[in-house]
A = this chain, B = another copy of it.
Amino acid sequence: MPTVTDTKKIKIPPTAFATETSRALEKPGCLLVSGDANNANVMTIGWGAIGVLWGRPVFMVAVRPSRHTYKFLEETGEFTVNVPRKGMEAAVAYCGTVSGRDADKFKEKHLTKLAGEKVKAPIIAECCVNYECKVLWKTKVDDSVMAVPDEVKKRFYPKGDLHTIYFGEIVAARADEDAAEHLP
């Protein structure tokens, strides 16, 4: 994994890497961070969407109430999404299987927290694209407007634990100067 000093981060337009980020979500996943410099958690996400809502750039993420991350998100209303570099696959897999209740995943996988520019939630230095988001609005996966498809319920919600969907305004976005060459 590259060390922090290997790379320089530059400001990018919020949707400049939407294609690469969508691809990374599918495989190997992206890293969702919430909390603050002293107390943060990181989890792997495979779902999310980038676009525009209410005239603002948004990153939509979905988190189940059972997740350690959920509490941080609810308390802070902020998160970062970090697109891993090629070579970080093992760290991403780890962050998707181990709970922050049981381990300090940053420490275990040598992930370096860098201060966000606009949010208290840190970004991950080793990741090559970093989105800083503030929750604008949220909703819940439920049947109130339209029933969740049966197939989806059976596969993803056999025990309930329905996702909350967070629409985060992308308030800052950075990428490593050499991001294009190192995206997964």
A→B interface (CB under 8 Å): 15-23, 25-26, 46-55, 57-58, 60, 62, 135-141, 144-146, 148-149, 152, 155-156, 164-165
User: A141 CA to B136 CA in the complex, in Å?
Assistant: 12
Enumerate chain B residues within 8 angstroms of A16, measured Cβ to Cβ: 19
Enumerate chain B residues within 8 angstroms of A57, measured Cβ to Cβ: 22
Enumerate chain B residues within 8 angstroms of A148, measured Cβ to Cβ: 137
A141 touches B146 (CB 8 A): no
Give how many copies assemble into the complex. Answer: 2
When the two chains form the complex, which single residue of B22, B47, B140, B144 contacts A18, counting CB atoms closer than 8 Å? B22
A153 nearest CB across to chain B (Å): 10
A146 nearest CB across to chain B (Å): 5
Enumerate chain B residues within 8 angstroms of A145, measured Cβ to Cβ: 138-140, 164
Enumerate chain B residues within 8 angstroms of A26, measured Cβ to Cβ: 15, 52
B52 touches A46 (CB 8 A): yes
**Chain A's interface: helix, strand, loop or mixed, by majority?**
mixed
A51 touches B50 (CB 8 A): yes
Enumerate chain B residues within 8 angstroms of A58, measured Cβ to Cβ: 49
User: A139 CA to B15 CA in the complex, in Å?
Assistant: 24
**Given the contacts A19-B16, A19-B18, A136-B149, A54 and B60 also touching, CB distance less than 8 Å:** no
Enumerate chain B residues within 8 angstroms of A48, measured Cβ to Cβ: 51-52
Residue in chain B with minimal CB distance to A22: B15
User: A48 CA to B49 CA in the complex, in Å?
Assistant: 9
